Amino acid sequence: MPVDKHHEVVVIGAGVSGIYQIKCLLDAGIDATVLEADEDLGGTWYRNRYPGARFDSESYTYGYSFSRELLDEWHWRERFSSQPENLRYLNYVADKFDLRRHMHFNAKVESMHWDEETRLWHLQLEQGESYTARFVITGIGVLSVPTLPRYPGMDSFSGQSFHTYWWPKEPVALQGQRVGVVGTGATGIQVIGEIADKVGDLTVFQRRPNWSTPLNNSPISVQEMADIRARYDEIFANCAESPNGFEHVPDKRGFYALSHDERVAFWDELYDKPGFAILVGNFPEIFFDEAANREMSDYVANRIRQRVSDPQVAEQLIPKDHGFGMQRLPLETRYYEAYNRDNVHLVNISETPIERITPTGVQTSAEHYDLDLIVYATGFDAITGGFDRMQIRGVDGKTLNEKWHNGPSTYLGVLTHGFPNMLMVAGPQSVSGSTNFPRAIEGGVNWVTELLKHVRSQGYSRVEAQPQAEQAWVEEVVRAHEKMLARRSQGWFTGYNSNVSGHEIGTVRYQAYFGGGPKYATILAQSAAEGYQQIDKS
């Protein structure tokens, strides 16, 4: 078939990763373009427009660090910035560095296959165009493929219904409406806390409760922003030291060095601090020690009981199947207080399952709920989902889906054997799925860019992870995972996700590296310093 365009590098995705990646490639003098499936740039922050969508990383730790001028120019208005402001920021970055003209929108990659003879990737777009590229860099994000439940009758509902990822651009009428929210993960918790006082009636359909702690958002004044700018070096140094890439760093005193009362007093302080302080500024033992995690979980459970008026409802909101911090921790604003309102109702669908969606609402095994709007906050096919939706064929025509059927296998989360010249930013088994995303992707983008510069300088046209290097990395990912109590949890961190087709509960998919950001950065640096010895180059 005729090829419409050729570039040395094609970047897939114009989100946080793709924006920085195309800038680095252009700075290096590399011919490159970005293919973005959506109508405009932004990725997560373009698509997720639901009420309450905002950072749970401190805004000033989420923004890019590569440009001092950019840091000095941008004023974050809130400690945890909302989706509209986040999208404005990403557009500002793209416009400031004149990146938009290197992006092709409405360009969804349907398939790509490797041609060994020409050493080129052939990409076919859903819209009919085709591209070739020497290298493909994926920046498709870890949460870019939403998953809907599979209830009978979903198409029969006469009102509006959609996944939060597909929240309409135009305003959605909420005043006086009977709204049902299915799901109480991170997204559902944000939505519920935001709309409870705006709708006529809100019914929450919960399968499994999640631990959640206060976001503690606040405005950032002009003076505070000036103070933040003055200490950006310190802030990013703390992020580099933190296992999770946040400004907060673990408490080094040791869980057992303090008495129970001293620990509770410390947790009271953390509970009132912004963001993930209570998770990553805590004692490291809560992630590895059963007794420590149990005590921490009991503490947060008691805080939930203090905030929810009805004791029976409070117990329904406290997880019993996993400890605190063992799954992705949602941060909330007025979430638990929402259940104190007369117009908010909690339905436990693990006890009374949803049987079907009807033209007028939701039918559970116990009763029917009349609704005007259904919001599916039912999560994502995380980390590998974006790869699964493309047909990617490597050497000898083998598909990536076939290789990763039982879980991904990669070298450093960047390359996978059998798929030469395909580089992944925030790929499976990198640290990106378990840390402050931009802090991780900047390191990943820098490493990928330096690899390409090395390859070009040496006259190579093909790079591929050595199979033994890939296997060694998979084993390292498994070791780091198995050290943590989270190894037993159900959730996208571990690949347990019962609403994703083909992902069975009880089958672990080692999707993210839990060895921590600092260790991962050291491993990347060592690989580069050694001349990328575990990558075949020709």
At 188-243, the pLDDT tens digits run 999 999 999 999 999 999 999 999 999 999 999 999 999 999 999 999 999 999 99
Distance CA 459, CA 451 (A): 12
At 316-372, the pLDDT tens digits run 999 999 999 999 899 999 999 999 999 999 999 999 999 999 999 999 999 999 999
Contact 434, 513 (CB under 8 A): yes
Number of domains in the chain: 3
Across the chain, mean pLDDT equals 95
Residue 233 domain-assigned (yes or no): no
Give Cβ neighbours of residue 226 (< 8 Å, ≥ 6 apart). Answer: none
Residue 16 domain-assigned (yes or no): yes
Residues 403 and 359 in one domain: no
Structure tokens at 131: 């591209």
Structure tokens at 114: 């490797």
At 105-139, the pLDDT tens digits run 999 999 999 999 999 999 999 999 999 999 999 99
Burial of 32 (0-12, 13-18, 19+ CB in 10 A): buried
Residue 300: which pLDDT band, with cuts at 50, 70 and 90? very high
At 501-523, the pLDDT tens digits run 666 556 778 899 999 999 999 99
Distance CA 172, CA 89 (A): 24
- Closest-CA residue to 184 (of 303, 328, 28): 328
* Cα dihedral value 437, 435, 260, 484, nearest 10: 160
What are the E-state strand segments in 222-286? none
Percent over 90 (pLDDT), the chain: 92
Cα–chain-centroid distance for residue 508?
18
Residues 41 and 69 in one domain: yes
Distance CA 192, CA 336 (A): 9
Question: Within 10 Å of residue 265's Cβ, how many Cβ atoms?
Answer: 11
DSSP state of 413: T
Question: Is residue 306's pLDDT more than 70?
Answer: yes
Residue 236 domain-assigned (yes or no): no
Residues 292 and 351 in one domain: no
User: How many angstroms separate the first and last alpha carbons of the chain?
Assistant: 27
DSSP state of 14: -
Residue 439 domain-assigned (yes or no): yes
What are the E-state strand segments in 237-329? none
Residue 435: per-residue pLDDT: 87
Residues 28 and 78 in one domain: yes
Percent over 70 (pLDDT), the chain: 96
Residue 162 domain-assigned (yes or no): yes
Residues 255 and 298 in one domain: yes
Q: Is the dihedral of CA 377, 379, 380, 381 positive or negative?
A: negative
Residue 497: per-residue pLDDT: 58
Residues 153 and 140 in one domain: no
CA distances from 485 to 35, 87, 289, 514 (A): 39, 36, 7, 11
Residue 286: which pLDDT band, with cuts at 50, 70 and 90? very high
Residue 490: per-residue pLDDT: 74
Residue 506: per-residue pLDDT: 61
Residues 10 and 108 in one domain: yes
Looking from the CA of 208 toward its CB, the CA atoms found within 13 Å total 17
At 404-446, the pLDDT tens digits run 998 999 999 999 999 999 999 999 999 987 889 999 999 999 9
Residue 488: per-residue pLDDT: 72
Distance CA 181, CA 170 (A): 19
Question: Within 10 Å of residue 475's Cβ, how many Cβ atoms?
Answer: 11
Residues 120 and 36 in one domain: yes
294 φψ region: left (φ > 0), alpha (ψ -120 to 50), beta (else): alpha
Boundary residue ending a domain (357, 379, 401)? 379
Paired with 32 in beta bridges are 9
Residue 397 domain-assigned (yes or no): yes
Looking from the CA of 351 toward its CB, the CA atoms found within 13 Å total 8
Structure tokens at 297: 């979980």
Residues 204 and 339 in one domain: yes
Residues 55 and 133 in one domain: yes
Residue 500: per-residue pLDDT: 67
Residue 87 domain-assigned (yes or no): yes
Residues 84 and 186 in one domain: no
Question: Is residue 493's pLDDT more than 80?
Answer: no
CATH at residue 206 = 3.50.50.60
Distance CA 118, CA 138 (A): 21
Question: Is residue 397's pLDDT more than 60?
Answer: yes
Structure tokens at 123: 């990409």
Q: What angle do CA 507, 510, 513 make, to 5 degrees?
A: 155
**Would you call 332 helix, strand, or coil by DSSP?**
strand
Residues 408 and 513 in one domain: yes
Residue pointed to by tokens 């070298």 = 411
At 138-189, the pLDDT tens digits run 999 998 999 999 999 999 999 999 999 999 999 999 999 999 999 999 999 9
Task: Give DSSP secondary structure letters for 17-51.
Answer: HHHHHHHHHHHTT--EEEE-SSSSS-THHHH--ST
Boundary residue ending a domain (379, 412, 440)? 379
Task: Give DSSP secondary structure letters for 490-508.
Answer: -BTTTTB-TTSTT--TT--
Residue 435 domain-assigned (yes or no): yes
Which residues form the domain of 66?
A: 5-145+381-531
Provide the residue type at 505 as one letter: I
Contact 465, 478 (CB under 8 A): no
Provide the residue type at 23 as one letter: K
Distance CA 35, CA 46 (A): 15
Residue 503: per-residue pLDDT: 62
Paired with 54 in beta bridges are 82
